[in-house]
Structure 1
């Protein structure tokens, strides 16, 4: 762990006081850790998962301001995503939990180790910023609550991220070059893709165009199965959602995408595009670098016509200006506009499980002060975007301006100079962020989907993000999902590449409905928790 915040001279008197006041705390490997520093200030240990860890938090002004707010010393421990993926299970099994964890644990972890997480509900009055956050954001409160307990406080990165996580893009420059209109149905999209393949829309005289690029066919981010929304049922492909496990709601009943006629229609359409060479047949086996080579490319000549992602900027880089968001398509022209939907993932995009506290934290008052400070406006902005004034200026009246030369010197977002989406905090709607290019691009990308998103009932078409089964039922879901996915996902991949869905569909559905795979058990579990939360 790194040490930070040891301010001032280390005098003999202060050292003596510290020795007298220190209460040993057993840490990893049986070593004892001090609970106060040389100056007698309480020590708070925070572990945070980060995108990149080459710019230590202790070097940021954010750290110093947090320490001032709690009148304590903060010891930071930073871990990158890959390392945490390897460390989390053994650390939890060994009982190694930091005083404060930032974006380390989700409710699956908590359900397995309840005794290692402090119930924060009794302490809300000591954290007025957190209390106000919950008053302002009832969805976040529902996410946090486990009955009358709160083990994990979500973060809120603000209105700029109240968007769908998934968008479908089309090269508008190519459409204009070929004199084509933006497609509105599956048939029109197919016609456009055929023109993209045969009519040299990028004008370089080479047959190098990829009419449509896809990343995956799972129930997750940026999947081509987002086309389920064209058929009138909604997805919510973000985070650990029920939708991500393959479940949706129709007329108050939980159902599975896997056995829906809607999935059959989507797979029939996608295979037709593969068969005509409009989607690469090897789409499901390529790695990310091969995909990026066709979307971002050399930054000069576009080779992708249509793809699915977060924003035009993240998807196409320097070629972003050629692309627009494709408004959600109808399955066919006869479909009423009111039936077209889109991926409802705004709650999971805006909020994320963030702050946990160990019940063994020795300096609880200081811990609570740290957390409350994190959820104040200024430190929330600093936590997500960068320190004030080094990276962000405070313009007054709830407006802040990001210095792009500093904030985006290494990346197109603030991962290097701040905690970014791994922060704990709350950015209210009255905050205006200038030069938040990530939010600007994704908000612009989202606008074409807003009409279809308005057709989604957030509690009637999808299982809300705050609906969580208990640990026993979660284990049943996970075990069954493994069996279901091993069979169903293999069949979906086969149909995508080779077809045959009409001949094999009935047998496929019958097998999924056999008790041994547990699909109906999973539906019943989600129905129980959905009814408790929504009805």
Structure 2
């Protein structure tokens, strides 16, 4: 009897367990079915969206890869042609790119000297090319012609057909902030620099052979710089028995001022904003040229000038004069973006300063660094273009590392090689034995289109072979790079009305500053007149100037 009861209990338990397992299995199956159904719906939705996108792709266009078009298409581009370049249709890279893309470009070559006239005539006459490339439109003109519909809006085109430029905008926050206009629209593709060699701008080079000869050390402070320059003046380092040394010179005075700004804590948001930066104590915008710090900087330069440590011709200097003085074995220190500016004879005797100079109040900033977004107006598609999707895909390739390498170097195995250490080297035969009177730029300019700058692409050091990347200036840039401001501003965006008014104010105020800079530093005007100088700038509309700048800054922050 007891066994029978046990059997009945076990039977009941078995029955209950079977129900539980069955329910669980059923629930699991239901969930799996729902999951699969959800995944199927999601997959179907993605496929439908992709199909819809494909439907939106014009029938003549390949959305990805090369060629860009299914059948050959011709576009007309107006392009700036520098003196070292042949007509663009003769440049090797463009010829190869036509084969890759299936897009033939009819180039309207415009010499540098005629550029403003020709581009303005094209706009005024309505005889528009399909696109302008490297035509150096001012930011205000890009905005104006965009709002007039002459330059088409690129936002949707970039989103659909320019994955490389889109990736750059995501990678570099300042590009995403600075490229759109005040209205959020993009009317041009930019010039981008992700290269210490270029971004560090003007460098300070000091003649190391003279430093060693006089038993000195390379300067790391403004006081040490003064001492080195004084030794150059008095120690006859060129050994000719004459006191003819020029301790410090440059092609212009603003370059010298620029390499010193960071030593007084000025221009602390980079070189794109040489007149306005951030007051670190109040966290408010600051006009640089009315500060006590700028007064001190100019007093320092006045001291150098009066004592003959600064070139007495600094107010009228230019590049040819700098080279001439360098070749005459006169120069102890100079400022430029590369070391070639001093001439070939003594170039290798110079080195960049080992670090940013520290000023009298402990500031130690390299203020000359520029933003990744160098210019936002390098390539504009016009309303005359029947194939804007083709044009944007055509230019987008150069915002990839592969495309930019092709732009600068050409074709691997034909115009350049990749060395075992990863560096790239031109293999153009003419470079082996350059004919007399022919320059590097002239030879390379026949193969690649980058000469003259202002190119719509991203530039990186390892494939850019300009003077800034040569060993001496490259090391100089690397020395000061750790001292660059943590935040670098790209250009701000203004409405047309704001930009026009700001241009008027800047024209008068900046011109006055240029005049008074020379007056103060030369000693023609006493620093006792500093307050009057500041008051004059204020009378010229500084308050309105800064109010407009504030609006641009707030837009920049909000992007």
Equivalent position of 2:358 in the other structure: 330
Unaligned runs of 5+ in 1: 1-38
Deviations 1:203-225 (A, max 9, x none): 2333331111033344xxx3424
2:513 partner SS: helix
Q: Is the 8 A contact 1:154 1:424 kept in 2?
A: yes
Instruction: Name the CA shift for 1:501/1:520 in 2 (closer, same or farther; >3 Å).
Output: farther
1:149 partner SS: coil
Shift of 1:259: 0.7
1:108 paired with 2:140, answer yes
Larger mean Cα displacement after TM superposition, 278-287 or 418-427: 418-427
User: CA–CA distance in 2 between the matches of 1:69 and 1:404?
Assistant: 21
User: CA–CA distance in 1 between the matches of 2:138 and 2:387?
Assistant: 24
1:319 paired with 2:346, answer yes
Equivalent position of 2:395 in the other structure: 371
Equivalent position of 1:249 in the other structure: 278
Equivalent position of 2:496 in the other structure: 471
1:451 paired with 2:479, answer no
Shift of 1:281: 2.4
Instruction: Name the CA shift for 1:139/1:488 in 2 (closer, same or farther; >3 Å).
Output: closer
Shift of 1:418: 1.9
Deviations 1:255-296 (A, max 9, x none): 11221111111111111111111112221123432222113x
User: CA–CA distance in 2 between the matches of 1:396 and 1:182?
Assistant: 34
For 1:159-170, list aligned pairs within 5 A.
159=195, 161=197, 163-170=199-206
1:523 paired with 2:551, answer no
1:355 paired with 2:385, answer no
Q: Is the 8 A contact 1:48 1:422 kept in 2?
A: no
Equivalent position of 1:18 in the other structure: none
Q: Is the 8 A contact 1:142 1:466 kept in 2?
A: no
Deviations 1:396-427 (A, max 9, x none): 99864323754695445544532223433335
Over aligned residues, Cα RMSD in angstroms? 3.0
Larger mean Cα displacement after TM superposition, 163-172 or 183-192: 183-192
Deviations 1:163-202 (A, max 9, x none): 3112111111101001112223333222221221121112
1:209 paired with 2:238, answer no
Instruction: Name the CA shift for 1:155/1:349 in 2 (closer, same or farther; >3 Å).
Output: closer
Q: Is the 8 A contact 1:386 1:417 kept in 2?
A: yes
1:289 paired with 2:320, answer yes
1:142 partner SS: helix
Instruction: Name the CA shift for 1:491/1:133 in 2 (closer, same or farther; >3 Å).
Output: closer
User: CA–CA distance in 2 between the matches of 1:349 and 1:207?
Assistant: 45
Equivalent position of 1:226 in the other structure: 259
Instruction: Name the CA shift for 1:492/1:156 in 2 (closer, same or farther; >3 Å).
Output: closer
TM-score by length of 1: 0.80
Looking at secondary structure, tell me which structure has more helix per residue: 2
Shift of 1:381: 1.7
1:465 partner SS: coil
User: CA–CA distance in 2 between the matches of 1:92 and 1:405?
Assistant: 41
Q: 2:527 aligns with which of 502, 505, 508?
A: 502
Shift of 1:158: 4.4
Q: Is the 8 A contact 1:225 1:266 kept in 2?
A: no
Q: Is the 8 A contact 1:344 1:458 kept in 2?
A: no
Larger mean Cα displacement after TM superposition, 142-151 or 404-413: 404-413
Shift of 1:145: 1.6
For 1:59-74, list aligned pairs within 5 A.
59-74=90-105
Q: Is the 8 A contact 1:385 1:418 kept in 2?
A: yes
Q: Is the 8 A contact 2:76 2:131 kept in 1?
A: yes
Equivalent position of 2:3 in the other structure: none
Equivalent position of 1:341 in the other structure: 365
Instruction: Name the CA shift for 1:237/1:305 in 2 (closer, same or farther; >3 Å).
Output: farther
Q: Is the 8 A contact 1:61 1:388 kept in 2?
A: no
Larger radius of gyration: 2
Q: Is the 8 A contact 2:493 2:556 kept in 1?
A: no
Instruction: Name the CA shift for 1:341/1:404 in 2 (closer, same or farther; >3 Å).
Output: farther
Larger mean Cα displacement after TM superposition, 146-155 or 474-483: 146-155
1:532 paired with 2:555, answer yes
Larger mean Cα displacement after TM superposition, 476-485 or 393-402: 393-402
Equivalent position of 2:416 in the other structure: 392
1:274 paired with 2:308, answer no
User: CA–CA distance in 2 between the matches of 1:134 and 1:397?
Assistant: 30
For 1:147-162, list aligned pairs within 5 A.
147-156=183-192, 158-159=194-195, 161=197
1:51 paired with 2:78, answer no
Instruction: Name the CA shift for 1:312/1:235 in 2 (closer, same or farther; >3 Å).
Output: farther
1:194 paired with 2:230, answer yes
User: CA–CA distance in 2 between the matches of 1:500 and 1:253?
Assistant: 30
Q: Is the 8 A contact 2:268 2:278 kept in 1?
A: no
